Structure formats: C-alpha cells, structure tokens
C-alpha cells in the first residue's frame, strides 16, 4: 500500500496590523462656572403701614371734650362662620358712638381698621359721629392670618395725626381703641417688638384707652403687654358670643362717655360696673324703696344657697313666721362680688350702704349702665356707697363667704 505524502500545513497569511492611531490632543474645553444659587427673594419691606390720607372732613382744633375712636377688626379666615353676627355687633357699636356723642354733646370721630395677614387701608378714617352708617358684608371680606399687633399699631399711628395730638388742644382730646379678634397674633411684622412700649407710652399720657375682646386664653398675654384687666373681655368666637360683642361694647361706651363728661380722660375699667357716681336723687326718683320686703342674712362662710337660707330661717322664729322655713327660688338676691353673666330675666337691687335702703325696679339696670331685657357680662368695680345684688333662680348656687344675702317674702 502506497502511503500518500502528507502536505505541509499551509502557512497562515500574515495579516498586517493596523497602524497605531496617533494620539490626538484633546482640545481644552473651558469649564462653565458653577451655577450660582438663586438669590433669595427679598422680603417685603417691614414698614407696611397703609396710607389713610386726611380725615373725611376737616377737624378744627378741639376746644372741648373730643373723642377719637378706632374700631380694629380681625378679618382673618377663622372669622368666616360668624361674619354676619360680627358685622351686626359692629353696627351696634357705631350706633352707640353716634347716640352717646349726640346725648353728651362731645365731638366724636370714628375710624375702622381691619387686618388679616396685613393691615388694610381703613374702611373710613375720622368720620364724624353723626355721619356714621352701618357696615355690610361687603365691608368685611375674610381670609389670611392674624396681624393683631400691626392692626392696633397702625390705628395708633394714624390717630396721632389728628388735631389735638399735642399742644394746647391736647388737653381736650381722648383716644379709645377697641379691638375685636377671635385668635392670636401670628403675622405682625411692624409693631411686634415695640408693641408693649407703644401702649405704655400712649397710656402714660392719661388720654389713651385700649380695649380688647379676645378668646379667654389671650387675656394673660394682653395683661403682660400692659392692657388693664378691666379693659379686656373674653368672648367665645361663635354666633352667641358674637351677639354679645355689640352689647358689651355699647355698655362700655355709655359708661366711657359718662366718665368723659365728668372730666375723666381715659378708662381702665371699660367693662366694669361703676355706680360710685350715682346720686341718691336718681335712686329715689327712678327706683322703688323695697327695704320692708327683705331680710338681710349674713353669709359668714361659703355655703349652697338653699341649705343656707333654710338653716337661717329655722334658727330665727321671727324670720320663719314671716318667710316660712322653705327656700323659694327667685326670692333670694346674692351680692355681686365677681365677674359673671347676668341673664336678661334676672332683676337687680341696689343697696345704699349709708342708709341701708334697698332699691329695685325696671330702671336698676339703666342706672348701672346695663342693657335692659338682655343678658350681659358684668364685672364689679367701684361701687362706692352702694352694693349690687342679683336675683338667684338656683337651688345650689354657692354663696361667697363674708357677703350678704337679701331674701324677700
């Protein structure tokens, strides 16, 4: 067998390697400067006091007791549920200014400032009392936060621009700033730091009165700012509370005008009953002497009204023969010693301490500056020679120690 010769393996064809690429120098690329952070948007200027312009009509330099009154209203969003009631209360206050100014002959000029996150230009500025008209819902658009301090501060700043702020005429001028809010300060920028000093400087002149109606929780803060407790009235920001606003301020305004007529220039007891200046002629002319109908029972220690009365009657034969021994609702009158709400149906008595006579009647409320036929909050104040007693319709009312209870047959 013939073997075939093996062919040598074919040599692989050499494949030329590609020529090495020349390194190309990279072009230097200029780096972009790092983007700067966006600049902060400048905050609005702190001094944001709306311009109010001049009074609606020229005001001559005062020559007699003159009142500049500002109503400062919170129109933040939280007031939306009670807007109609608040407006009605404001109208009641405007009517009170108009009526009291006319009755006392004291020139009076009213302004209304509103605020939310910022303070608005006033609804009107230094309008004469006889030109005041009712507000409408269009005048109080709601929304925003509560720049309470800026609202008050703005009112003060502009009231100072009126005639009589200084000089000889200043002795005739008094300022009353009434503020209504349902919440707490959370947005002021202008007067936040110097608010307390501003109030102190104004009050030191003896011609400025600051009055606040606010939630109960805000009372302590206002007192720390230097607002007299007698000028602060807590209220519930609901429809019922809003209804009471107008009555409380109207009651205070009547008393304020009476004090101005007597020569007083400011008040620290706007919401406090004051009968120190009631004359005995008014008592005898307008009220009835009921002394013979009542027995005086001295309360030496705190006790519930029914067991106290029944115990006192049983101990005294003369009293039990006259009044019986069972407690009768509506026959007892307790002494007013602390602030409380007096219901519309409850009658009041005024006792002349110097004569021990007991006076009552429909005009008792009027003499005390309280609304007739309406519930109202009362804070006892300077009663002078008199004591005030309120009818009790309760069987378990707690009587205060060291007071007197009047009980009628």
Q: What is the pLDDT of residues 236-248, one digit of tens each?
A: 999 988 988 888 8
What mean pLDDT do residues 272-279 have? 72
Let me know if residue 347 belongs to a domain. yes
Q: Residue 190 belongs to what domain range? A: 66-270
Do residue 96 and residue 221 come from a single domain? yes
Do residue 190 and residue 312 come from a single domain? no
With beta carbons less than 8 A apart as the criterion, state whether 90 and 71 touch: yes
Nearest Cα residue to 69 out of 220, 250, 197, 273: 250
What mean pLDDT do residues 372-399 have? 85
Do residue 224 and residue 296 come from a single domain? no
Do residue 312 and residue 174 come from a single domain? no
Let me know if residue 3 belongs to a domain. no
Q: How far apart are the C-alpha atoms of 105 and 258, rounded to whole Å?
A: 11
Let me know if residue 50 belongs to a domain. no
pLDDT for res 246 = 86
Do residue 149 and residue 262 come from a single domain? yes
Residue 405 predicted with pLDDT over 60: yes
Nearest Cα residue to 176 out of 115, 234, 96: 96
Q: What global pTM score does this model have?
A: 0.73
Let me know if residue 23 belongs to a domain. no
Of 5-9, 112-116, 335-339, 385-389, least confident by mean pLDDT is 5-9
pLDDT for res 2 = 44
pLDDT for res 381 = 75
Helix axis angle for 195-203 and 148-159, nearest 10°, is: 40
Let me know if residue 337 belongs to a domain. yes
Do residue 164 and residue 284 come from a single domain? no
Let me know if residue 343 belongs to a domain. yes
Q: Which residue, 241, 270, 299, sits at the end of a domain?
A: 270
Let me know if residue 34 belongs to a domain. no
Q: How far apart are the C-alpha atoms of 282 and 173, rounded to whole Å?
A: 30
Do residue 252 and residue 303 come from a single domain? no
Give me 196's structure tokens: 């307390």
Q: State the chain's mean pLDDT as an integer.
A: 87
Residue 364 predicted with pLDDT over 50: yes
Sequence-ordered list of residues with C-beta below 8 angstroms from that of 321, at least 6 positions apart, any chain = none
Sequence-ordered list of residues with C-beta below 8 angstroms from that of 63, at least 6 positions apart, any chain = 169, 172
Let me know if residue 381 belongs to a domain. yes
Do residue 321 and residue 383 come from a single domain? yes
Residue 258 Cα distances to 65, 244, 253, 262, angstroms:
12, 22, 9, 6
Residue 290 Cα distances to 4, 36, 321, 352, angstroms:
159, 87, 20, 12
Do residue 97 and residue 72 come from a single domain? yes
Do residue 130 and residue 176 come from a single domain? yes
Q: Which residue, 227, 242, 270, sits at the end of a domain?
A: 270
Q: How far apart are the C-alpha atoms of 312 and 306, rounded to whole Å?
A: 10
pLDDT for res 13 = 53
Do residue 203 and residue 328 come from a single domain? no
Do residue 78 and residue 159 come from a single domain? yes
Residue 135 maps to which CATH number? 3.40.50.410
Burial bucket for residue 33 (CB in 10 Å: 0-12, 13-18, 19+): exposed
Q: Which residue, 270, 303, 326, sits at the end of a domain?
A: 270
Note the pLDDT tens digit of each residue in 118-134.
999 999 999 999 999 99
Q: Which residue has the higher pLDDT, 34 or 326?
A: 326
Note the pLDDT tens digit of each residue in 165-221.
988 899 999 999 999 999 999 999 999 999 999 999 999 999 999 999 999 999 999
Sequence-ordered list of residues with C-beta below 8 angstroms from that of 15, at least 6 positions apart, any chain = none
Question: What is the domain count for the chain?
Answer: 2
């Amino acid at each position: 067998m013939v073997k075939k010769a093996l062919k040598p393996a074919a040599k692989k064809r050499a494949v030329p390697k590609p020529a090495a690429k020349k390194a190309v120098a990279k072009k230097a690329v200029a780096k972009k400067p790092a983007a700067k952070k966006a600049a902060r948007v400048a905050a609005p200027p702190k001094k944001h006091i709306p311009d109010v312009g001049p009074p609606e009509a020229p005001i001559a330099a005062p020559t007699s007791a003159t009142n500049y009154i500002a109503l400062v209203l919170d129109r933040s969003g939280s007031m939306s549920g009670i807007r109609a009631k608040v407006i009605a209360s404001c109208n009641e206050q405007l009517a009170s200014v108009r009526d009291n100014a006319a009755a006392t002959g004291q020139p009076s000029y009213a302004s209304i400032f509103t605020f939310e996150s910022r303070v608005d230009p006033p609804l009107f500025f230094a309008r004469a009392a006889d030109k005041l008209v009712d507000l409408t819902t269009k005048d109080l658009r709601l929304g925003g936060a509560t720049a309470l301090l800026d609202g008050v501060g703005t009112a003060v700043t502009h009231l100072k621009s009126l005639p009589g702020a200084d000089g000889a005429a200043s002795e005739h001028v008094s300022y009353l700033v009434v503020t209504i809010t349902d919440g707490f300060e959370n947005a002021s920028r202008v007067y936040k730091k110097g608010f307390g000093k501003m109030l102190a400087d104004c009050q030191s002149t003896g011609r400025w009165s600051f009055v606040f109606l606010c939630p109960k929780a805000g009372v302590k803060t206002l007192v720390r700012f230097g607002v007299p407790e007698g000028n602060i009235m807590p209220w519930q920001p609901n429809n019922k509370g809003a209804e009471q606003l107008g009555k409380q301020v109207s009651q205070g305004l009547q008393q304020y005008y009476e004090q101005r007529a007597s020569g007083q220039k400011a008040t620290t007891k706007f919401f406090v009953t004051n009968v120190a200046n009631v004359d005995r002629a008014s008592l005898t002319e307008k009220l009835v002497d009921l002394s013979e109908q009542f027995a005086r029972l001295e309360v030496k220690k705190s006790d519930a009204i029914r067991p106290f009365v029944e115990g006192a009657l049983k101990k005294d034969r003369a009293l039990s023969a006259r009044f019986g021994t069972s407690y009768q609702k509506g026959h007892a009158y307790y002494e007013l010693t602390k602030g409380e709400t007096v219901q519309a149906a409850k009658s009041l008595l005024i006792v002349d301490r110097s004569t021990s006579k007991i006076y009552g009647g429909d005009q008792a409320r009027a003499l005390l500056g309280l609304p007739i036929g309406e519930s109202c909050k009362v804070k006892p104040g300077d009663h002078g020679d008199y004591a005030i007693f309120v009818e009790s319709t309760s069987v378990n009312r707690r009587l205060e120690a060291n007071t007197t209870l009047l009980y009628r047959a």
